[in-house]
Structure formats: structure tokens, C-alpha cells
Amino acid sequence: MSMPYRDAVTALDRAYGGVTELVAALTPDDLLAPTRCRGWLVADVLFHLLSDAQRALVALHTPDPGPADTDHVSYWRSFPPGRGDDGWANRLAAAAFGGGTAITRLWLETAPAAVDAATRADPGGFARTQGKVLAVPDLVATFVLEAVVHHLDMTVAFPAAAPPARAAVELAGRTLADLAGEELPISVEVVLEATGRTSSERPSFPLLG
């Protein structure tokens, strides 16, 4: 079943807004802090999210005739953990900016544009990304899950930082519950457990970087 459009767009707005609030307050030294993504600094994770926001803009502005061949759940099953050198490629690309503050500035410009594109998209339309065709609400939902998880990845060195917004966590949690095939409580802790960020007996999906 496709993700409800309004839920997805609202969650993306809250998710990207939360990342913006976090990174806008970080100093250049803060951007060099470690994260929950092995080998990635805060600047590296932010660059990864920036690439997502740019990909969202491209996909949402180039509609596909459909039909969808993937939804917001099956999308993640095609990206198993430990696939290739993506981690190194992301680090090298982020380093090419010559400083994390440049990545921050570009994020502050790009994230609102991606949200605006999602808001203006056809709720019943389709979009193509990474070789897959998704209904627009499902596409938007994939960006929400990425943003929530990586927001949490970036805050590991900043325990006083605000967590992702409730609406964003709820949608991310619904996706993870569908992946697990069972009901899961909706909380930041469960998102971390279900994506392999903390040890747990819950089904683990250590994707997303």
C-alpha cells in the first residue's frame, strides 16, 4: 500500500527541518566529530544527506509515467549492508568541498527546495530514482527514513541536541515495522535498534550508511 501523501510530505518537512536546526548550530570543529556511521564524520553524513536532497529534487521534477515497481518498504531491501566502496566515495566527495561549512551552506539552500518540490508534486504521480520507480508518496517516505536515521547518527557526539521531530520518527518507524513484518513501538530508540545502531534482539536492518 502506498504511503499517504500528506503524511510523507509533512514528515519530510519536519525531518529536513530538524537536520537544518542541528547543523546550523554546529561549528567547523563540530563538523569533524564522529558519528554512528563507521568511518564518517558529521560532515560526511551531512554530505550524504545533501546528496539525497539533490536526488529528491531531480526525481520530483522529472515525473515518470509509472507504474511503480517499488514501494517505500521494498526499496530498502535492494540495498544490503556492506555494498562496495560507497563509504569511501562519500568521504572523498565530502572532503573535496574543502570544509564542512560549505556543505552546511549548500544543505541550507537545498533542503527547503526539496521539501517545496515534494509539496508541489502530483500526489498520484510516480518518480524514478536509482533505477526504481516509486509512487511520489513512497519516494518521499524513503527520504524521511534516511533523514531521521542520519540525524540520529550525527548527534552521537552531541547528547544535548534535539532529536528528530515526532512526525518524522513516526513515519520512519512505520517503514521499519513494515520491513520487520511486525508491530514496533514508535521511538528514537527503536529506530536506532532496527537499523543496527544499537545492540538488540529486534530484527536489524543495518542499512543507510
**How far, in Å, are 12, 46, 64, 98, 203 from residue 131 at the CA level?**
22, 23, 11, 31, 27
Measured distance CA(163)–CA(192) in Å, rounded: 12
- Domains in the chain, number: 1
At residue 30, what is the residue type?
D
Would you say residue 205 lies in a domain?
A: no
Would you say residue 202 lies in a domain?
A: no
Residues spanned by the domain of 36:
5-194
The rounded percent of the chain whose pLDDT value lies above 90 is 73
Higher pLDDT, 204 or 76: 76
Would you say residue 117 lies in a domain?
A: yes
Tens digit of pLDDT for each residue in 160-198? Answer: 999 999 999 999 999 999 988 888 888 999 999 888 888
pLDDT at 80 over 70: no
Mean pLDDT to the nearest integer, 22-32 = 95
Would you say residue 156 lies in a domain?
A: yes
Would you say residue 39 lies in a domain?
A: yes
Task: Kindly report the pTM of this predicted structure.
Answer: 0.92
**Any idea what the CATH number is for the domain that residue 115 is in?**
1.20.120.450
Would you say residue 36 lies in a domain?
A: yes
Mean pLDDT to the nearest integer, 142-149 = 97
Residue 119 class from Cβ within 10 Å (0-12 exposed, 13-18 middle, 19+ buried)? Answer: middle
pLDDT at 1: 53
How much is the mean pLDDT over the chain?
Answer: 89
Would you say residue 81 lies in a domain?
A: yes
Tens digit of pLDDT for each residue in 88-136? Answer: 788 777 877 777 789 999 999 999 999 999 999 999 999 999 999 999 9
Would you say residue 50 lies in a domain?
A: yes
